[in-house]
Structure 1
């Protein structure tokens, strides 16, 4: 945190251009002093299983404001959402893969061209999935200084890890059952071929040259199986990875701004982003 205490924050909503319309984003800009002026812009995407969430949820708005008070300018992305998954019913909605990740990519490109000190990109849960894929397939944009992934998932089919299943036992959350997670992914990326593309799920693809990555996961979270596998894949590809697993934490803790896990993660992200300001953009 800035030595003089939390910085004042200016919040504005605007549209970022893309073909056929615009992606709404929310800027949380710190009223910065000289020490914080060189911070990269943090482009952040909320979670919600691809079918819910928005700029007003704590995982988006509270995260952005908390980071901005620490000197990090934040642009939160309001990407298009897939339809609500309903068992036994097929939706006619066309808002599925690749539209949400195209929205995230459009914002990465636009903000990357504007940000004087480069960008760091990040997301939570489904937003982490979108961010990870966009960072891998962001052809035509400046390389982000780094990637931040909070309790994300990165594979079309979830790995089954017995140790993690033991950790989440007694903290049952239906949406995190493996079959439900796989169904959520199918609802987002409807075709099997599409689900295997790196723009849908970055896990299992060539990760050489991927930006430095900060990962923050919840101990009692079934999604951690995919995150652990993706972290191993990044390391195998020679990527610089810093990973934290918060003890006893459950999924989506960034939607709980008064929790210890929220404060810990904001501190981790802020410190990590400020370290990236010394790293030249590619």
Structure 2
């Protein structure tokens, strides 16, 4: 592993974790003056088909939180094939489809738990929020320590996008009114799992699944984002399962953690940092 000091006085190291599907690239972000804080596994989004360690949504939140004292690991999980949102996906078998990416995140979580000597925190944005939530379920069912807390930003959690008239009425602008419509969301989900029969609650789609013992969870959604329907519904499901839940809505569109120079990024990250500190 080779380290360097970033502009936020954060030490960054690239490495790999041995996973069931091969070596998984990871990146560790450590405060220059380390403190005894719970490590966070942060998972980028990208519709299950894009993104990586250099993606802003992966790198910028990790740097922000490490500069605030939280050690962070990001993960370059395997990706499903690219697909166009205006046509049904090609369902030819592909090695990056479910459960490949989730297996990678679970394996990195397991390694981070072992390295930390105890529970971690977990979080992610968009598709990464889905994978983070699914990893909690996998850790629980595999008898591993559950995270101290979870942070789920503008996530997609349901195989079928829930209805929410209030969210729909608050959408503004051509892009927000088109993006993540029910047909588009179904195509994204189908491309991820590779077969219609897998479009159901469970590990690929934690929404509607067994959520018992889920850790305290912060959901950070964007107001002008149709996926807020999924986040709001998932929050209600977590509460029904007995979990501590906080919801916050940022005045922005989907993916605002991918734009670190915008005010919405700082707004969302301050909420996330405060949550992690309170649940350390």
TM-score, normalised relative to structure 1: 0.90
In the alignment, which of 205, 208, 215 is matched to residue 209 of structure 2? 205
CA–CA distance in structure 1, aligned partners of residues 247 and 93 of structure 2: 39
C-alpha deviation, 1:196, in angstroms = 1.9
CA–CA distance in structure 2, aligned partners of residues 72 and 116 of structure 1: 16
CA–CA distance in structure 2, aligned partners of residues 89 and 274 of structure 1: 41
Q: Deviations over 1:16-72 (max 9, x none)?
A: 111241111111111225xxx121001000000000111111100111111110001
Are 2:265 and 1:262 aligned?
yes
SS of the residue 1:39 aligns to: coil
Are 2:189 and 1:185 aligned?
yes
Q: Corresponding residue for 1:9?
A: 10
Q: Corresponding residue for 1:98?
A: 99
C-alpha deviation, 1:197, in angstroms = 4.8
Alignment of 1:74-93 (within 5 A): 74-86=72-84, 87=87, 90=90, 91-93=92-94
Q: Corresponding residue for 2:44?
A: 46
Are 2:148 and 1:145 aligned?
yes
Question: Are the structure 2 counterparts of residues 20 and 225 from structure 1 closer, same or farther at C-alpha, using a change threshold of 3 Å?
Answer: closer
Question: Are the structure 2 counterparts of residues 89 and 219 from structure 1 closer, same or farther at C-alpha, using a change threshold of 3 Å?
Answer: closer
8 Å contact kept, 1:7–1:31: no
Are 2:63 and 1:65 aligned?
yes
Q: Corresponding residue for 1:109?
A: 110
C-alpha deviation, 1:171, in angstroms = 4.4
C-alpha deviation, 1:228, in angstroms = 0.7
Q: Corresponding residue for 2:4?
A: none
SS of the residue 1:172 aligns to: helix
Are 2:120 and 1:119 aligned?
yes
Q: Corresponding residue for 1:3?
A: none
C-alpha deviation, 1:259, in angstroms = 1.4
8 Å contact kept, 1:153–1:227: yes
C-alpha deviation, 1:194, in angstroms = 2.5
Q: Deviations over 1:89-146 (max 9, x none)?
A: 6244221011111111001111011114631000000000111111112123211101
C-alpha deviation, 1:235, in angstroms = 0.5
Are 2:277 and 1:274 aligned?
yes
Are 2:199 and 1:195 aligned?
yes
Q: Deviations over 1:64-93 (max 9, x none)?
A: 111110001000011101001143562442
8 Å contact kept, 1:23–1:79: yes
Structure 1's consecutive aligned runs of 4 or more residues displaced over 6 angstroms after TM superposition are: none
CA–CA distance in structure 2, aligned partners of residues 61 and 93 of structure 1: 27
Q: Corresponding residue for 2:3?
A: none
Question: Are the structure 2 counterparts of residues 20 and 127 from structure 1 closer, same or farther at C-alpha, using a change threshold of 3 Å?
Answer: closer
Q: Corresponding residue for 1:160?
A: 163
8 Å contact kept, 2:181–2:226: yes
Number of residue pairs matched by the alignment: 268
